[in-house]
């Protein structure tokens, strides 16, 4: 590609936040010559990571060409690249890449990166990357393309997350990494980590894997890195690289094939191959063992150009950047945080498993006293004992210090007397899902607490409005719906009932922030967001099953969506009785859209815990005695039909939720299913997927999101 | 019979040795200086870490104290900088630290105070140093002098400005002319340039990486203030900011600077046990007060006192490292002791006029340089480091060269010797 095309590409992004390449000459000790150190810096503080857009790459390329000339003239003996504090580079500017409308532009972007990095690898003098902080994707590839690398023990996140984002590490990462650290480790870094909640490496882990040749502490990282570079240049130090491999070695070839196969199995298990990117990473890895770097580069560029045009990539950027990183920090509809009241003591009604989990979370994160109450001392003691045991587990795993363990344990107490709530600012109930039980609990609590004390319910399916009806102060009641397991799932649905006042709501949002949860404001409508969507989905699949669709067809019909688990597995994990109970509530609220399965009821009545059970060969089967409990219709569906029916049902349900005003917009629906149900980002949550497959148009006559938000922009 | 741990017998005085010292390159204070945007505490941290790297025989947990001086103890020089710097440098949390202040003699006082603790048996090994980021902390900033200084004429307000005190010194010693101070200052620049040329300065320097907006990271490896090639004629042109038609100029005084220093001191026994280098042995030290209005004369009484403590005479001193706050102050010292302006024993590598004077840090710079000169010149047995101090004080430390043929290891108070410790051996600490 020509410089003119790169310039044209750069011209498409006049608003790019350019990361500049500043060069300083440093005289190496012992008259060893001049070392040119490039600092990549966008001139903004640590809240604005440095990224690589087209203008940035053009500038870096120009700087590197200049240094190559200087090297040829013998003016410099080495070149280093490092970043502003806390960052090497956070990778390609995804919001820019997402906007590349034409395949050619994507190809240019891919080639531009390769062009620039190729210069870095061919300066005529050794190049060094000093990985001082976060280095993701194209940022880490700058380091991989350098001749040598040092890393800081304080460097936070090092990763090649492209498989997660919907791309491939196509600026040389997929070629260099397996050669540097071995194919198995490369698969771990390029496939397993990205597909495991986008896990990243620390500096020491990267050093252990052999990604970096030397490691230094942050206090004098740049100084020590330069001192090390000087030694390498002088021939006094050389990296070990014990994990590096020669792909031509037959034993390595065998390992290579094994690593690719293991990677494919991992991708299948994690994503059901619902997103194209992870497999493409493995395709290139498999192919490039016998390729030269340039040949692999061509393949990498073609693949990048192709993937940049996919909606899976665009949906991921929408889900990751626009929702999880941005929208989650400014919840739509949350009142001014200044209205929030301090919460210095919390009461939890109930001492069962959910209540105990809540007590632990409050004590650990908010560090305020938490009192559990229940109807008898035995239950109370059991609840407190659960919290103490969980704290001891954390201590045993060295996740917390013994002082922190003592503090947390001391914060959690139990009582059979609700009088212990007298000075609480926030009391949440986690008792049986029965409206009258909850109303009675709140009546008792209200007699004890101050008029300002906030009352919260963790109900998943009951009406918060109905719960508030008989309260003296209905404005103080708010829904505070957690997801299981409470400590892990990042979502909190905050439910506003008609009378809930702004101060109460603001306090609930501040509390969520203190708990490190992402809160989404929802209207009081049965099952709120996540459970309503999940149960509509399960309901459709179970209905198809009841109609006569074979279990394995029904339960695998949604695999093209790449959901974290199949519907039958999900219902077993939730618990069939609970799932059935909630389904009944939804049926009562919304009618036939939420059909109650008689077959499921029979399983519940007979204490069957799961449709599937391990068969003789280890594969899941439905046991004969389970089958015998049920009866089926005679209208089986194909997998395609089940999938389409489910897509349409979801489009209908979400369309209704939006028109009912359950949440502020489709973005909140997507945020909820990503954080509350673990739905994949390549679906964009769910609404971009429903737009993509046409369900929104089929059912509602319109898309949820305009073209370009989470998909390819409209032509023209 | 080496004594280890902090269990030295009470009242047993032990020998204190200077193991090693380093400093950052010094910078010019102000927005254009190399350390604009760099924190003072970070400068100290670089020094401490370099000391630990250079002395791998010293286990970090054996450091018993970290004493760091700063004249202004707020902001990035606040929060008990000896402790914060120890933590930031990655020393074990069991290593304590404190902050100390005696203006220009901060680091020197950090050394003498901790050395006394070693002698007393409270410590085996210490780190002592100082820092001043005069860009972040302009001299006197935030100070609130008691009005009684003025109303009761306790100190002439003019004495709070160091330049004025230097002009006052010229008044007191009319024989010290501007020509003499300019000549001395030009020589200081020339001597430093020569020392740089011979590589006598660089080994003590810790590289410091800094990053400035729009410039990226660089690594500073040399001092910023020196103006090699400065001539007497150049200096004659300069303004006299403290007095119209005065004598003190920016050229014959130290500048406003940023920098940090740190040194490892140990008991002779601990140094031997850990195999640490012994670059100098502490012989004696003294501080003395003078009229604040002529604070520059402070090194004279301080040196007399230190010599008396050591049982030495000025003729025994083979090397002088005197801080050049002002050329006039150095010349008043030399005149007092009858030493020529260009005596080769004095500031062989030049001085603060050339290299800079980040107030509380300078004492250890003098020691680093004396230690290197001892190494180069085993014929010298005793040397002094001395400096004047704001508000009218002087500080002097006398050191012995372990490379000298008469260096007496048995001067240390081993238990065999202590019964006969009343012998008037030269160099015995009083």
Q: Give the integer Cα–Cα distance in Å for A520 and A522.
A: 6
CB distance from B398 to chain A under 8 Å? no
Within 13 Å, how many C-alpha atoms sit on residue A315's CB side?
27
Helix, strand, or coil (residue B7) = coil
Q: Give the integer Cα–Cα distance in Å for A25 and A35.
A: 6
For the entire predicted model, the pTM comes to 0.92
Q: What are the two backbone dihedrals, phi and then psi, of residue A46, each rounded to the nearest 5 degrees?
A: -70, -5
The residues, ordered by sequence, that sit 6+ positions from A74 with a Cβ below 8 Å of its Cβ are none
CB distance from B215 to chain A under 8 Å? yes
Q: Give the integer Cα–Cα distance in Å for A150 and A226.
A: 9
Inter-chain Cβ pairs, chain A and chain B, closer than 8 A:
58
Q: Give the integer Cα–Cα distance in Å for A561 and A538.
A: 14
The residues, ordered by sequence, that sit 6+ positions from B153 with a Cβ below 8 Å of its Cβ are none
Q: A642-651, pLDDT tens digit by residue? A: 999 999 999 9
Helix, strand, or coil (residue B290) = coil
CB spacing of A226 vs B49 below 8 angstroms? no
Helix residue spans in A325-469 (DSSP H): 353-366, 377-396, 402-411, 435-446, 464-468
Quick one: tokens of A625? 């005695």
Contacts of A150 in chain B (CB under 8 A): none
Residue B210, beta-bridge partner list: B218
Tell me the residues of A at the B interface, defined by beta carbons under 8 Å apart: 20, 22-24, 26-27, 29, 37-39, 41, 43, 82, 84-85, 217, 219-223, 226-227
Nearest Cα residue in chain A from B91: A219
Query: How far A211 CA sits from the closest chain B CA (Å)?
Result: 23
Quick one: tokens of A637? 């569906």
How would you classify the pairing of strands A346-349 and A412-415? Answer: unpaired
Q: Give the integer Cα–Cα distance in Å for A230 and A217.
A: 18
Q: Give the integer Cα–Cα distance in Å for A100 and A107.
A: 10
CB distance from B340 to chain A under 8 Å? no
Mean pLDDT of the region B32-61? 98
pLDDT value at position B418? 40
pLDDT value at position A27? 94
Q: What are the two backbone dihedrals, phi and then psi, of residue B282, each rounded to the nearest 5 degrees?
A: -70, 125
Contacts of B216 in chain A (CB under 8 A): 22-24, 37-39, 41
pLDDT value at position A3? 74
CB spacing of A223 vs B215 below 8 angstroms? no
Q: Give the integer Cα–Cα distance in Å for B285 and B393.
A: 14
Contacts of A26 in chain B (CB under 8 A): 218-219, 221
Best A38, A80, A84, A219 member to test B by mutation, with max B CBs in 10 Å, is A219
3-state per-residue secondary structure call for A629-682 = CCCCCCCCCCHHHHHHHHHHHHHHHHHHHHHHCCCCCHHHHHHHHHHHHCCCHH
pLDDT band at B422 (very low <50, low <70, confident <90, very high): very low
Give the helix/strand (H/E) hosting A214: strand A214-216
Nearest Cα residue in chain B from A25: B218
CB distance from B174 to chain A under 8 Å? no
Helix, strand, or coil (residue A336) = coil
Cis upstream peptide for B307 (omega within 30°): no
- E strand residue ranges, B233-360: 257-267, 280-289, 317-322
pLDDT value at position A44? 95
Please determine, for residue B101, whether its predicted confidence score (pLDDT) is greater than 90: yes
Reading phi first (left if > 0) and then psi (alpha if -120 to 50, else beta), residue B220 is in beta
Specify the residue for token string 């040749």: A213
Sign of CA dihedral B109, B115, B119, B123: positive
CB spacing of B90 vs A223 below 8 angstroms? no
Q: A305-357, pLDDT tens digit by residue? A: 999 999 999 999 999 999 999 999 999 999 999 999 999 999 999 989 999 99
Contact indicator for A68, A127 with CB cutoff of 8 Å = no
Closest Cβ–Cβ partner in B88, B90, B218 for A37: B218
CB spacing of A219 vs B221 below 8 angstroms? no
Nearest Cα residue in chain A from B213: A43
Closest Cβ–Cβ partner in A37, A82, A217 for B90: A217
- B414 or A262: which leads in pLDDT: A262
3-state per-residue secondary structure call for A518-578 = EEEEEECCCCCCHHHHHHHHHHHHHHHHHCCCCHHHHHHCCHHHCCCCCHHHHHHHHCHHH
Q: Give the integer Cα–Cα distance in Å for A115 and A107.
A: 12
Which residues in chain A come in under a pLDDT of 70?
1-2, 715-716
Quick one: tokens of A46? 């640590």
pLDDT value at position A1? 53
pLDDT value at position A95? 81
ipTM confidence: 0.90
Nearest Cα residue in chain B from A130: B217
Q: Between the CA atoms of A233, A235, A239 and A245, what dihedral angle is there, to the nearest 10 degrees?
A: 100
Contacts of A63 in chain B (CB under 8 A): none
pLDDT value at position B158? 79
Helix, strand, or coil (residue A543) = helix
Best A31, A39, A42, A401 member to test B by mutation, with max B CBs in 10 Å, is A39
Q: Give the integer Cα–Cα distance in Å for A450 and A444.
A: 12
Contact indicator for A358, A458 with CB cutoff of 8 Å = yes
Contact indicator for A596, A583 with CB cutoff of 8 Å = yes
Helix, strand, or coil (residue B227) = coil
Closest Cβ–Cβ partner in A37, A43, A220 for B46: A220
Reading phi first (left if > 0) and then psi (alpha if -120 to 50, else beta), residue B4 is in beta
Contacts of B42 in chain A (CB under 8 A): 219
Quick one: tokens of B139? 């001299």
Helix, strand, or coil (residue A115) = helix
Mean pLDDT of the region B372-400? 97
Contact indicator for B117, B123 with CB cutoff of 8 Å = yes
Contact indicator for A694, A644 with CB cutoff of 8 Å = no
Query: How far A83 CA sits from the closest chain B CA (Å)?
Result: 8
Q: B120-179, pLDDT tens digit by residue? A: 999 999 999 999 999 999 998 888 989 998 899 998 877 889 999 999 999 999 999 999
Please determine, for residue B4, whether its predicted confidence score (pLDDT) is greater than 70: no
CB spacing of A85 vs B211 below 8 angstroms? yes
pLDDT value at position A713? 82
Q: Give the integer Cα–Cα distance in Å for A242 and A295.
A: 26
pLDDT value at position A92? 92
CB spacing of A43 vs B213 below 8 angstroms? yes
Query: How far B89 CA sits from the closest chain A CA (Å)?
Result: 7
How would you classify the pairing of strands A214-216 and A148-152? Answer: parallel
Query: How far B133 CA sits from the closest chain A CA (Å)?
Result: 18
Q: Give the integer Cα–Cα distance in Å for B254 and B132.
A: 14
What are the catalytic residues of B?
104, 357, 388
Contact indicator for B252, B328 with CB cutoff of 8 Å = yes
pLDDT value at position A20? 97
Q: Give the integer Cα–Cα distance in Å for A525 and A461.
A: 8
pLDDT value at position B3? 44
How would you classify the pairing of strands A127-131 and A78-83? Answer: parallel
Specify the residue for token string 């309901």: A539
pLDDT value at position B425? 42
- E strand residue ranges, A273-419: 346-349, 370-373, 412-415
Residue B386, beta-bridge partner list: B322, B396
How would you classify the pairing of strands B16-23 and B27-28? Answer: unpaired
């Amino acid at each position: 590609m020509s410089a003119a095309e790169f310039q044209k590409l750069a011209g498409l992004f006049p608003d790019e936040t350019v990361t500049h390449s500043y060069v300083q000459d440093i005289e190496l000790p012992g008259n060893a010559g001049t070392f040119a150190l490039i600092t990549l810096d966008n001139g903004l503080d640590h809240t604005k990571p440095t990224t690589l857009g087209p203008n940035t790459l053009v500038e870096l390329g120009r700087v590197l060409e200049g240094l190559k000339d200087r090297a040829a003239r013998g003016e410099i003996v080495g070149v280093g690249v490092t970043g502003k504090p806390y960052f090497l580079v956070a990778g390609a500017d995804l919001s820019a890449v997402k906007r590349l409308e034409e395949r050619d532009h994507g190809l240019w972007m891919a080639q531009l990166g390769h062009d620039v990095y190729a210069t870095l690898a061919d300066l005529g003098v050794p190049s060094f990357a000093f990985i001082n902080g976060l280095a993701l994707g194209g940022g880490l590839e700058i380091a991989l393309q350098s001749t040598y690398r040092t890393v800081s023990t304080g460097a936070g996140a090092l990763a090649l997350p492209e498989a997660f984002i919907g791309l491939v590490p196509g600026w040389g990462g997929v070629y260099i990494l397996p050669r540097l650290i071995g194919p198995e480790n490369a698969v771990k870094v390029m496939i397993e980590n990205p597909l495991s909640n986008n896990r990243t490496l620390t500096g020491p882990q990267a050093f252990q894997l052999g990604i970096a040749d030397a490691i230094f502490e942050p206090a004098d990282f740049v100084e020590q890195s330069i001192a090390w570079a000087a030694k390498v240049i002088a021939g006094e130090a050389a990296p070990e690289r014990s994990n590096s491999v020669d792909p031509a070695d037959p034993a390595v070839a065998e390992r290579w094939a094994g690593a690719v196969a293991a990677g494919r199995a991992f991708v299948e298990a994690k994503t059901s191959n619902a997103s194209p990117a992870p497999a493409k990473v493995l395709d290139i890895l498999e192919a490039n063992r016998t390729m030269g770097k340039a040949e692999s580069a061509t393949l990498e560029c073609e693949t990048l150009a192709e993937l940049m045009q996919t909606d899976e990539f665009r949906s991921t950027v929408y889900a990751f950047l626009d929702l999880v990183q941005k929208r989650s920090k400014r919840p739509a509809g949350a009142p001014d945080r200044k209205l929030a009241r301090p919460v210095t003591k919390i009461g939890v009604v109930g001492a069962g498993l959910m209540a105990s989990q809540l007590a632990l979370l409050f004590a650990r994160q908010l560090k305020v006293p938490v009192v559990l109450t229940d109807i008898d001392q035995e239950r109370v003691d059991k609840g407190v004992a659960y919290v103490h045991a969980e704290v001891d587990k954390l201590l045993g795993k060295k996740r917390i210090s013994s002082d922190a363990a003592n503090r947390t344990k001391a914060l959690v107490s139990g009582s059979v007397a609700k009088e212990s709530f007298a000075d609480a600012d926030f009391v949440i109930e986690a008792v049986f899902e029965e409206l009258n039980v909850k109303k009675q609990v709140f009546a008792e609590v209200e007699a004890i607490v101050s008029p300002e004390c906030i009352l919260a319910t963790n109900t998943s399916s009951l009406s918060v409005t109905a719960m508030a009806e008989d309260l003296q102060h209905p404005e103080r009641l708010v829904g505070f719906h957690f997801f299981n397991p409470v400590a892990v799932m990042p979502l909190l649905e905050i439910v506003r009932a008609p009378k809930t006042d702004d101060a109460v709501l603001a306090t609930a949002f501040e509390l969520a922030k203190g708990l490190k949860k992402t809160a989404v404001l929802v209207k009081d409508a049965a099952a709120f967001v996540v459970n309503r969507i999940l149960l509509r989905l399960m309901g459709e699949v179970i209905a198809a099953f009841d109609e006569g669709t074979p279990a394995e067809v029904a339960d695998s019909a949604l695999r093209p969506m790449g959901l974290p688990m199949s519907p039958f597995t999900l219902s077993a994990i939730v618990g069939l009785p609970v799932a059935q109970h909630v389904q009944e509530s939804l049926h009562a609220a919304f009618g036939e859209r939420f059909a109650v399965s008689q077959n499921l009821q029979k399983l519940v009545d007979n204490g069957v815990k799961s449709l599937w059970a391990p068969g003789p060969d280890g594969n899941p089967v439905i046991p004969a005695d389970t089958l015998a409990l049920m009866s089926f219709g005679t209208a089986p569906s194909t997998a395609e039909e089940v999938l389409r029916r489910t897509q349409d049902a979801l489009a209908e349900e979400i369309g209704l939720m939006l028109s009912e005003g359950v949440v502020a917009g489709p973005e909140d629906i997507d945020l909820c299913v990503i954080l509350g149900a673990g739905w994949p980002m390549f679906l964009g949550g769910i609404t971009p997927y429903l737009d993509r497959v046409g369900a929104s148009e089929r059912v509602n006559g319109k898309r949820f999101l305009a073209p370009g938000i989470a998909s390819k922009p409209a032509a023209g | 019979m080496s004594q280890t741990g902090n269990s030295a017998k009470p009242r047993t005085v032990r020998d204190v040795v200077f193991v090693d010292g380093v400093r950052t390159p010094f910078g010019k204070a102000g927005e254009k200086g190399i350390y604009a945007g760099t924190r003072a505490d970070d400068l100290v941290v670089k020094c401490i870490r370099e000391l630990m790297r250079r002395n791998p025989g010293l286990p970090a947990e054996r450091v018993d104290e970290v004493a760091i001086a700063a004249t202004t103890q707020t902001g990035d020089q606040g929060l008990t900088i000896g402790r914060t710097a120890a933590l930031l440098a990655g020393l074990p949390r069991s290593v304590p630290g404190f902050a100390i202040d005696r203006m220009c003699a901060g680091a020197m006082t950090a050394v003498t105070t901790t050395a006394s603790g070693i002698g007393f048996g409270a410590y085996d090994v210490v780190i002592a140093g100082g820092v001043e980021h005069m860009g972040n902390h302009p001299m006197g900033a935030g100070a609130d002098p008691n009005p009684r200084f003025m109303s009761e004429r306790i100190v002439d307000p003019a004495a709070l400005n160091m330049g004025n005190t230097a002009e006052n010194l010229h008044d007191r010693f009319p024989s010290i002319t501007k020509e003499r101070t300019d000549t001395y200052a030009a020589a200081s620049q020339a001597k430093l340039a020569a020392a740089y040329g011979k590589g006598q300065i660089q080994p003590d320097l810790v590289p410091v990486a800094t990053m400035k907006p729009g410039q990226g990271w660089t690594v500073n490896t040399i001092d910023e203030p020196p103006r090699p090639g400065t001539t007497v004629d150049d200096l004659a042109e300069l303004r006299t900011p403290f007095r119209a038609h005065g004598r003190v100029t920016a050229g014959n005084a130290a500048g406003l600077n940023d920098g940090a220093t740190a040194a490892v001191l140990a008991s002779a026994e601990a140094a031997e046990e850990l195999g640490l280098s012994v670059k100098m042995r502490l012989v004696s030290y003294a501080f003395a007060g003078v009229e604040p209005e002529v604070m520059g004369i402070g090194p004279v009484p301080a040196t007399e006192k230190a010599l008396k403590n050591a049982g030495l005479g000025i003729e025994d001193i083979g090397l002088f490292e005197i801080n050049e706050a002002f050329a006039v102050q150095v010349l008043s010292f030399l005149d007092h002791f009858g030493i020529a302006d260009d005596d080769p024993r004095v500031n062989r590598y030049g001085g603060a006029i050339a290299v800079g004077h980040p107030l509380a840090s300078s004492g250890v710079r003098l020691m680093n340089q004396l230690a290197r000169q001892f190494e180069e010149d085993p014929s010298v047995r005793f040397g002094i480091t001395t400096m004047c101090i704001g508000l009218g004080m002087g500080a002097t430390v006398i050191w012995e060269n372990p490379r000298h043929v008469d260096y007496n290891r048995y001067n240390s108070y081993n238990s065999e010797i202590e019964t006969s410790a009343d012998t008037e051996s030269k160099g015995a600490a009083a």
